[in-house]
Amino acid sequence: MDGLGYQKMFNEKKIQNLTDKDLPIDGGGISTGLDYYKPTMSQLAYEKEPDVHVTFTFHNRGEQRLLDYVDIEILRQHFANLQTKGWTPGELRYLASIKMTDGQTVFQPAYIDYLQTHELPIVEVRYDEKIDDLAIVVTGPWAISTFWETIVMSVVNEVYFEGYVRKRGLNLLRVYDEGNQRLSEKIAVLKANPDIKLAEFGTRRHFSFLWQKHVLERLLGECPENVVGTSNVALAASLGIKPIGTFAHEMPMVYAALADARGEDIRASHRFFLQDWFSLYGEDHSIALTDTFRTDFFFSDLTLEQAMAWRGVRQDSGDPFRFGERLIQFYKDGNIDPQTKTVIFSDGLDIETIVALSEHFLGRINVLFGWGTTLTNDLGIRALNVVMKATHVKISGSNLEADTVKLSDTRGKHTGPISLVKEYEERHFAVG
C-alpha cells in the first residue's frame, strides 16, 4: 500500500466503516482495548464473588522509560472518557449475541444488565518518584475493575508510540511501510504453512488499535486458512470472526488470595476455580492456563476427569518444546489420545518459533498459536513489555483482605510480595 493509502486508512485515527448500524460497536469504545477473556472472567466474578474488590497495578517490565514519550494528562483524559462513556448499546448487544455450540448464550441477561448499570472505576494515573516513571492503579468491584487490565495496557502502548513517533520526528507513513513489509514476510511464511493455525492476541501490546485492525484484515484477506479468530472483542465483532479466549492468570491468583484472606486451603483454591469455570462455561471455554503456580503443580493437581473433559491447555512461560512433550506424555499416561486435545502456545512467539513448534508437533497434538506482540507491534520500533496484574483483594463489609501471587515457569514473571512468593513456592504449591 502506498502513502496515500495509509493516509486514508489512518486519517485522524478514524476507524474505517465502523458504525453502530453496520457493526455491534460504536467505534473507539471499551471493546477496542478488550480481550475476550475479560468478560468471561468478569461474569464468573459476578456470579461467584460479587462482594470482592480487586486492585490492579500496572508494571513496566521493560527497559524503556514510559514518561519519555507518555503525557500523563493525555492518559488521564483517555481513561476518563472511557469511564464516563461506559459500554455502548452496540457493545452490549454484541456480547449478548455470542453463543456456545449448544446455542446457549455465553453471557446471561442479568450479567449484561449488570454491565449496563455499573460504571467502570476511576483509574489513578500518577508519577512515581521511586521508579521515576508512570504508575497506574485501579481498585473496584472485581467484575468491573477487571476490564481495565487490557484497556490500560492497550492505551498506554498507543499513547507511548504516538509520542515516540512525534518526539523522534519520524515519518509515520514510513513506519507503517516498514511494518507492512515485515507483515508481508510473515504472511508469506503462513501461506507456505497452511497447517499453522493462529489466533490474533495482540491487543494488550499493540502499536495502535488501527494498526492491529489492519494486520488482522490483511491476515484474513491473504491467508484466511491460518486464522481461527481474535482475542479483541471489537475486531471479532466488526470483522465477523470468532472471539478467542478463556481465562488469564488473574482468576487462580484471586481465588488463591481469597482463600488466604478467609483462612481456607490456598492450594485447593486452584481446583475449586477450575470446577467453577467448567461449571459455568463447559467444554466451549475449557482451555486451562497451566503456569499461574508453575506447570509442575498444574500437572500434579489436574485430575484425570478434568484432563478428559477439558479441550486442552495454554502454555505461557518456560520452554514450549519441553512443555509440549510433557503434555503429550501426560495425556498418554492417562490413556487419553493427545490428538483429541489442543495446546495453545502464547509466550513471546515469533514466526520462526511458530514454524518450528508447528513442525515439531505436527500430527501428535492439535496446536494453536496465540500470537501477540510481534504480530501487532513489529514496525521497527522496540515494543514495550508492560503488564497490569491483580495485586490485592478485599471482601466488602469485612476486614478480610490479602495480596495476590503469581508464580511462573520463567522466574522473572513471578509477581507479589517477596515473602509471600516464597511461601507460595515452598508451602502452598510445592510439588514432591
Asked whether residue 72 falls in the same domain as residue 207, the answer is no
Report the pLDDT value the prediction gives residue 103, as an integer from 0 to 100. 95
DSSP secondary structure string for all residues of 399-421 = S-EEE--B--SSGGG-BS-HHHH
Dist CA 372 CA 69 (whole Å): 22
Per-residue pLDDT band at 246 (split at 50, 70, 90): confident
In this structure, the answer to whether residues 63 and 198 fall within a common structural domain is: no
**Residue 413: which pLDDT band, with cuts at 50, 70 and 90?**
confident
Residue 117 pLDDT? 95
Residues 162 and 191 in one domain: no
Do 250 and 319 fall into the same domain? yes
Q: Contact at 8 Å (CB) between 183 and 67?
A: no
**Span 140-184, pLDDT tens digits:** 999 999 999 999 999 999 999 999 999 999 999 999 999 999 999
Residues 156 and 182 in one domain: no
Do residues 101 and 226 both lie within one domain? Answer: no
**67 within a domain of the structure (yes/no):** yes
Give me the pLDDT at residue 29, please: 81
User: How many distinct structural domains can be found in the chain?
Assistant: 2
> Model pTM?
0.93
CA-based radius of gyration for the chain: 21
What's the mean per-residue pLDDT of the chain? 93
Q: Looking at the structure, do residues 283 and 234 belong to the same domain, yes or no? A: yes
Q: Which residues does residue 343 pair with via DSSP β-bridges, in sequence order?
A: 313, 367
Q: What is the pLDDT of residues 369-398, one digit of tens each?
A: 999 999 999 999 999 999 999 999 999 999
Residues 144 and 201 in one domain: no
* 389 and 352 both lie in a single domain: no
- CA-CA distance, 153 to 34, in Å (whole number)? 10
Residue 246: partners with Cβ closer than 8 Å, 6 or more residues away: 37, 40, 277, 281, 285, 286, 287, 288, 289, 314
Query: Based on the domain organization, do 218 and 298 belong to the same domain?
Result: yes
Q: Is residue 96 domain-resident?
A: yes
The helix/strand/coil state of 371 is: strand
The residues, ordered by sequence, that sit 6+ positions from 234 with a Cβ below 8 Å of its Cβ are: 25, 29, 31, 32, 34, 91, 209
Residue 1 has pLDDT above 80, yes or no: no
* Pair 118, 69 in one domain: yes
Asked if 181 and 163 sit in the same domain, the reply is no
Question: Which domain range does residue 193 map to?
Answer: 177-376
CATH number where 139 lies: 3.20.140.10
